[in-house]
Structure 1
């Protein structure tokens, strides 16, 4: 397979051209003929018209029939949860069905989408076999290689992060490893099984979720003591083995979602998660906890409170607003008839309006009862106290979720996690 791809006698297809799929497709296009496929017509048109991506080695399409020209398929579709935090395998099911219809003898299918251990072989494989009429091992190969794309990270890029790969048999493992080794300079780690590879990804994010939940719980405890959590972290960090996790709202497409896949699978096997579930509960409730602190302050000071929220993306210096937890804070404030202005230099107005029904403001007022700074965008880091004085009433509250302005606010009430 590797030689066929290298000699461009067949193509590699990437199914799903989001924050994971597009970088993967572009990286492979430097070596192979690539088909970039997505069901989003507008996205495909945008990619087709982008001169930066124009190349003889890659085509972008929303036509499923084009997949028949490929022999190596990489699945990078979203794996969300529904409103009940139950895994939504819809995108994976659709992708598997489309690939199954295009699958031929000798083909390879590799999943990168984050999911629970067993999903690739127990949920996706039966669809591939049913739609293709082919049999794993005898007719085609299967693999799993968890994505490790970190949106907005210019240091830990696709190429310089070790890539975990796995295969349905030894031959599949070696071929898949060889294919990925062309675009990964940091090296390849060969997992002993597909389930191990699936588990490795979900554990990465679950571990981080649990560590942040600990800091969030400590933050709530320290708040009752009048102790600043970031002061505590700074002091504790002088010990060599202290892990410098910080409290905060846990949103985005990974940490706030992936642990639910693991607890869901555990429950299906008769095990009710305790530690992981508790961590999820703490982190999911933090947005309302922040809202309650703001509500308690502003309703004591005015009958018509007005709050400015600075930052709606889930992390600093990116435009990604998926699963932004500050939106839950905003909705809680709105439920108490508090006027809320939302501002973010990176978020796109149309995305915020479509996904959350919120409008971004361009001009800030000078009479806010509270300002909430959610994330350390570059545009926020250097704001001085004069900025907050200029835009607030004298008895206003400055909420600094990431401790950016610690020990810098003297003429307004200050609070951070």
Structure 2
């Protein structure tokens, strides 16, 4: 397989061209012939113009790429090595939504041929690749894994917004249905990964390794969020506590905050789902999720208390929320907990304005039914800085005072201005 790919006798197909799939497809396209497939024709049209809809990659990332961008599933029939990088979200009840993964498996199954490889990168619970996806591949293709085609899993590890640890600089975990499959998959990814390849002993181990990476981070942040709540009641600066504790070599300096996005705020529910199927109700993972999911309500309640303490009727106030993306310096609004915070504030009849230099107003309206302003107004009763975009880091007290009227309140969720406070502003941070 690897030699045929290198000689461009065979092609790689990447299914799903979002934050994960597009960088993978373009990296492969520098070495091999690639078919980049996405079911969204508007996204494909942008990619054909060398425009990244996610605004993560510059136009020059497309230069020299031997790639065909298409929304036509028939084009996949010319590929022999398939990489699946579709979203794996949860539904409104926090249950894994496998529809994108199932649909991708169906499309590949129709195109699958003897000798082909199928590798999943989408984050799932252990067993999903072999128990949920494989039967679809076999049914749609009429082929049998092991005898006719190979199956693998290689968890995505791309960190959106990170310009230092790019795809090529992050160790890649791979696993196949047998040793031959694992080695071939390692060889293919080895052509684009500088940091090296780790061969997991089984597909389930690779699946589990990916999901616990984010479960661990979720739990660590939930601990800090709970500590922040406790220390706030005690009048102790949480950031100073973390700073002092960090003087010990084995203390890990996680910080409190809103936990959103398509990884940390979602992946634990996949492991919870699988565990419940096995008859075990996880205690620690559940607890971490409850704490992190409750933070928008906690912050909204805190702001309302501060408004009331300053004789401001919440229903007669106007609040500016700065930042809506799930993390700094990216356009990704998926599972944004800032949107939850906005809804909590609106439930108190507060008039909320939102700005964000990265988020797409159309996407925000479509996803959350919220409106973004091009720029802030004035006469706000409070400002909530919810995301640590670089554009916000240089702002000073005079700027915030210019936006607000009497008895101004600043909620600094990222601790950006803790060393530059102003006596005229009522300041609060996590």
TM-score (normalizing by structure 2): 0.95
1:295 maps to 2:307: no
Of 405, 409, 413, the match for 2:426: 413
**Counterpart of 2:83 in 1: which secondary structure?**
strand
Which shows bigger deviation, 367-376 or 201-210?
A: 367-376
User: Matched residues in 1 for 2:362 and 2:336: separation?
Assistant: 15
Show structure 2 runs of 5+ residues with no match. 52-58
User: Matched residues in 2 for 1:55 and 1:161: separation?
Assistant: 22
Paired residue for 2:371?
359
User: Matched residues in 1 for 2:375 and 2:13: separation?
Assistant: 45
Structure 1 residues 238 and 412: CA distance shift in structure 2, 3 A? same
**Counterpart of 2:80 in 1: which secondary structure?**
strand
C-alpha root-mean-square deviation of aligned residues, in Å? 1.1
Asked whether the equivalents of residues 394 and 412 of structure 1 are also in contact (C-alpha less than 8 Å), the reply is: no
Show structure 1 runs of 5+ residues with no match. none
1:345 maps to 2:357: yes
Q: What does 1:11-410 align with in structure 2 at a 5 Å threshold?
A: 11-50=11-50, 52=59, 53=62, 57-300=66-309, 301-303=311-313, 304-409=316-421, 410=423
Deviations 1:288-327 (A, max 9, x none): 1101111122244223111000010111111111111011
Deviations 1:240-295 (A, max 9, x none): 11101000000011000000000100000011010001100000010111011111
**Counterpart of 2:373 in 1: which secondary structure?**
coil
TM-score (normalizing by structure 1): 0.98
How much has 1:393 moved relative to structure 2?
Answer: 2.2
Which shows bigger deviation, 120-129 or 356-365?
A: 356-365
User: Matched residues in 1 for 2:84 and 2:387: separation?
Assistant: 32
Q: Which runs of structure 1 show a deviation greater than 6 angstroms over 4 or more consecutive aligned residues? A: none
User: Matched residues in 2 for 1:257 and 1:87: separation?
Assistant: 9
User: Matched residues in 2 for 1:372 and 1:56: separation?
Assistant: 42
**Counterpart of 2:18 in 1: which secondary structure?**
coil
Number of matched pairs: 417
User: Matched residues in 2 for 1:407 and 1:19: separation?
Assistant: 35
How much has 1:93 moved relative to structure 2?
Answer: 0.3
Deviations 1:107-136 (A, max 9, x none): 000000000000000000000000000001
Deviations 1:164-209 (A, max 9, x none): 0000001001100000000000000000000000001001000000
